[in-house]
Amino acid sequence: MSTHDSNDWWRDAVVYQIYPRSFADSNGDGDGDLNGVTDRLDYLKELGVDAIWLSPFYPSPQADGGYDVADYCAVDPRFGDMADFDRLVAEAHARGIRVIIDIVPNHTSYLHPWFREAIAAEPGSPARDRYVFRRGRGEHGELPPTNWLSNFGGSAWEPCGDGWYYLHLFAREQPDLNWDNPEVRAEFLRVLRFWCDRGVDGFRIDVSHGLAKDLRDPLRDRPDPTVLGPQADDGSDPLWDRDEVHAIYRAWRRLFDEYMPAKYAIGESWHPFSPRIFQYARQDELGAVFDFSLQKAAWGRDIYREVIARTWDYARQAATAPTWVLGNHDVPRVASRIGLPVGADIDTWVTSDGTDPAVDPVAAQRRARAAALIMLGLPGTAFIYQGEELGLPEDFDLTPDQLRDPNWERSGHRFKGRDGCRVPLPWTADGPAFGFNDTGAAWLPQPDWYAGYAASAQDGVDGSILSLYRRAVGLRREWVARGADTAMTWLDDPSEPQLLSWRLPSGLTVAVNCSADRGLPMPEHNRVLVSSAADWRDGDDPAELAPETAVWLA
């Protein structure tokens, strides 16, 4: 049995993340939809991905791009209907592509029937107990119950007007569920089973480290409320990464394992780098967890060497596959971010207003190409965010009136937010909405320069980043994804401090010259399988490894 038929199919998979609203729009209303995804499955097949992960497509007022779910077992009419979903799954499976969906269990939309019921109900009622309602501090409840802050800015407590407040760790339209309530636990098992029975292959668990909170009264203030995510590395934070969260996932795993093959699950657990995140990936829990350290690292040999080795070691110790991520719908696109000066403080930039002039666009493209060969040259699960394969940069041109991310308002207009990586994709270099649809409507406007990155303009073009991705994903099956025998050996060379290099059991050597200005002698090899250099052609065997270039050598 190959790993592709087994419970372990994901361990070496390439997963393509689709943000449905921005992928492809079949009905021309300006919002992408499920039929748009189905229409483009052949493109994804040609790219060679093993699975797609769909960001939320559920009924939602879109206060947070669909991560505010009003009904967990339905399709938002703007994205299609259940028949479209079933067809998408069937068509994907017919092409050997698995389907992973996003589950958002930390909070619902304020339009979810449970929250409508809770808001109308009395304090202390069972309907309110499914969420987190507390009386405010101060004589008349004029102060929020604790100092907890929303991840999007401002207090995490929204006043109900009668001295009571409800908790929302994200936007106010996203009330947090109370996971101490057995009804909440039972409901999500029902939701997961609903989708498992509909044929999905797995789940991405939104904010998986946030569900279990210390809600014992009196609630505790956090020592430094401005730290988003766990403040301590020991499970003692009242909100994040508490030990009790793992019991939830053990129950989920029992359900996932009732299926053949078992359902895949991956947690989104933001954490300052720590082996604790791998607890989510234990065999009797989710099985896999996102590790964002590669995404967070600025371009640079030593930092890459460090984060890759750490991720690799921790994942191996936890008996899971490492996960490799360069971008997603929450962070500025890699093809801009990676053009920051070497060693730049990436976190500062990620939360800045996104207009940092220090990004060098030429270096960004060159490094983004090399980064593709780094990520795809690592054993484990690799995630491609839609448009990454086109080298699409972040769109900094959106004006304040065009922004939709709640970060913009909640931060008091300090952070532009995440819209710049969510602009509808360019499929063609001309025509309405660059081929996103045939009417020209687009929920976020596309900049003129999108034309140069269109899929059609890159298709079959030697040296395009799309061609590079296709080639590398294809080669990966043979050279990188080898199931249980994966191991990596570092090829450190003290005399070449800018060389990042490792070898895999297949005989593949990945070599990266991280220097911006100095070529390196090409490491020993028989054949160059692929190079990130834009002018490299199949069969070329250059004597030098050019600056900021990666190669796969056999």
User: Is residue 84 near ligand GLC by the rule CB under 6 A?
Assistant: no
207 sits near ligand GLC (criterion: CB under 6 A): yes
- Interactions with ligand GLC, residue window 45-64 (CB under 6 A): 64
Closest distance between ligand GLC and the C-beta of residue 63, in Å? Answer: 10
Spell out the residues 6+ positions from residue 265 whose beta carbon is closer than 8 angstroms to its own. Answer: 202, 203, 204, 205, 249, 252, 253, 256, 286, 287, 288
- Which residues, in sequence order, are CB contacts of 464 under 8 Å at separation 6+? 457, 458
Closer to ligand GLC by CB, 18 or 104: give it: 104
Quickly count: other Cβ atoms within 10 Å of residue 3's Cβ. Answer: 16
- Residue 379, token pair as written in the block: 């054993």
For helices 245-256 and 182-197, the axis angle rounded to 10 degrees is 30
**Comparison of 8 and 64: residue with beta carbon closer to ligand GLC:** 64
Q: Which is nearer to ligand GLC, 104 or 392 (CB)?
A: 104
User: What mask of x and - would describe binding to ligand GLC in positions 255 to 294, judged by CB under 6 A?
Assistant: -------------x--------------------------
User: Which residues have a catalytic role annotated?
Assistant: 206, 258
Rounded Cα–Cα distance for residues 119 and 132 (Å): 11
Q: Where are the alpha helices (DSSP H) in 257-389?
A: 293-296, 301-317, 334-337, 346-350, 361-376
Please enumerate in sequence order all residues whose Cβ is within 8 A of that of 268, keeping only pairs 6 or more positions apart, or say none: 204, 205, 206, 207, 208, 209, 290
Strand order in the sheet with 157-159: 133-135, 164-167, 157-159
Per-residue interface string for the shown chain with ligand GLC, residues 187-206, x marking contact by CB under 6 A: -------------------x
Neighbours of 95 (CB within 10 A): 12
CB of 328 to ligand GLC, least distance (A): 7
Kind plus residue range of the DSSP H or E element containing 509: strand 509-513
By C-beta, is 99 or 171 nearer to ligand GLC? Answer: 171
Q: Among all chains, which residue has been given the structure tokens 């498992």?
A: 196
Task: Considering the complex, state which of residue 14 and residue 171 has its C-beta at the smaller distance from ligand GLC.
Answer: 171
Residue of 16, 58, 170, 349 that binds ligand GLC (CB under 6 A):
170
What residue number has its CB nearest to ligand GLC?
67
Does position 308 bind ligand GLC by CB under 6 A? Answer: no
CB of 148 to ligand GLC, least distance (A): 15
| Site for ligand GLC contains 330 (CB under 6 A) | yes
> Is residue 419 at the binding interface for ligand GLC, with CB under 6 A as the rule?
no
Q: For the CA atoms of the chain, what is the radius of gyration?
A: 23
**Cβ closest to ligand GLC, residue 12 vs residue 206:** 206
468 binds ligand GLC (CB under 6 A): no
The three-state secondary structure class of 123 is: coil
Indicate whether 67 belongs to the interface with ligand GLC (CB under 6 A).
yes
CB 21 within 8 A of CB 425: no
Q: Whole-number minimum distance, CB 103 to ligand GLC, in Å?
A: 11
Count of residues interacting with ligand GLC (CB under 6 A): 10
Residue from 24, 47, 104, 338 touching ligand GLC (CB under 6 A): that is 104
The residues binding ligand GLC (CB under 6 A) are: 64-65, 67, 104, 170, 206-207, 268, 329-330
